[in-house]
Amino acid sequence: MQSLFKEFEEILPLSAEESEIIESKIRFSIVKRKGFLLKEGCVCKHYTFVIKGCFKMYGVDDRGFSHNIQFAAEGDWIADIGSFYTQTASKLNIEALEYSEIYQISQPDLYWLFVEVNKVNRMFKVISESNFVEIQNRVLQNFSSTAEQRYLSFLEQYPHLSNRLPNTQIASYLGITPEFLSKIRKGLSKKGL
């Protein structure tokens, strides 16, 4: 369970006792490719930490098209925060893009940990906040940049994911069609990128 909270431990080290309490509430689990952590209409009951593998979180519009709003790979946390905190039906799906291994904490257990181990409360506050900042920046960026610019910043921000994900998934994240992404990639390679 080394990788969990690694970044945080550098700032806020956990005592042996705290680690033990946290570990007692965490469940290991395996998810097959195309397996779901969350389906639209269900309540998001777990916060998930990705040990190995990769997930996409996406919504489906009224014409039946999927739109990726977030990816999560090794070391990332994923949940529909809105549904998780309010325990109401989610509009989103979380699906494995590869064979994956995860840790999960259930909503009641996490709330119990918030009280028992105050550091956990602070950790998850930071996770939610950085999630918020990221999505807010995305709204701002989508307003003012072309698909090519958005693709370039995606490559910069997620270099490990760009080689690993099919372009259809990246296109869905960028809000364009795979055909247009293909056109962009062609244009970039002509420019020598």
Among 112, 148, 152, 162, binds DNA (CB under 7 A): 148
List the single partner that 181 binds among DNA, a copy of itself, none, CB under 5 to 8 Å by kind: DNA
Per-residue contact string for residues 14-33; x = within reach of DNA by CB under 7 A: -------------------x
CB 145 to a copy of itself: min, Å: 8
Strands (E), the chain: 27-31, 36-38, 46-52, 54-60, 66-73, 77-78, 92-96, 100-106
Tell me the window of 3-11, 75-83, 132-140, 173-181 that interacts with DNA (CB under 7 A): 173-181
Among 147, 152, 155, 188, binds DNA (CB under 7 A): 147
CA distances from 181 to 82, 90, 145, 149, 192 (A): 31, 29, 15, 12, 17
CB 90 to DNA: min, Å: 23
144 binds a copy of itself (CB under 8 A): yes
Of the candidates 35, 62, 65, the one whose C-alpha atom is nearest the C-alpha of residue 50 is 35
Q: What is the dihedral of CA 142, 152, 159, 175, to 10 degrees?
A: 40
